[in-house]
Structure 1
C-alpha cells in the first residue's frame, strides 16, 4: 500500500515538473517571437501598442514587457504587477497589478524596483 502511494506521489511530482517546464518553454518561445500573454481581460493588443518602449533599463536593471516587478514608491506605497511597457515622452511606466488594475507611474515616483520574475525565463 505504501509503495503504491509513493509511486503515485512520484508520478504526480514528475507530471507537475514537466508541466512547469512546458509552460516555461512556451513563454520563452512566445518571448522570442515578441508575443507576451497576460492573464487579464483589460489588456488588449491596442493597449500594449500605446507604449512605445518594450525593453528598457531602470535603475541599472533591464526590464522587459511581461516581467513581474515589485515597486516601492516615494510615499512608501508598494505595488506588485506585470510590466506593460513605458512611454518615453511622458517618462512613465505602466503596470497591470494583481487586482487587474492598469497603473501608469512616473519614473521619478519610483524609489525601489525589484524584479520578481522575468518573463520567458526558466529559472
Structure 2
C-alpha cells in the first residue's frame, strides 16, 4: 500500500491483517519504488497525493522502469491489480491509460478495499501484499 496518511494506512492494514493478508506500507514514492523493485505483490493500493512525487507520475515511472518490469509490469500491463485510493478525481482516460483495476474515492467504505483484496487473493495462491 502506498499511503502517506499513517492513521489511514494503519486502519487499512489492520483490516487486511484481520483477514489474513500481509501488507507492506510505503509512505512516500521512493519507498514504494524500492518495495516494488524488491518484492512481488498480488495487489497494490495506491494513494495519488503523497509527498515527494505525484502519484500519477510514480505509476508512469513504474510502467517505464525496466528494473521493475519483472516484479510489477508484464508487457505494459500490471502483473497484479492496482487500486487507486484518492480524494483526487480520476478520469476514465487515466484509468484506461494506466490500466488500473479500480478507483476508490476517499472517503470510502472499507468493504470496497477488502473486496479487491479478496479478489487478488483468489487470483493468486500467495497472500496479498
TM-score, length basis structure 2 = 0.23
Q: Which has the larger strand fraction?
A: 1
Which structure is higher in helix share? 2
Structure-1-length-normalised TM-score: 0.24
Higher CA-based Rg:
1
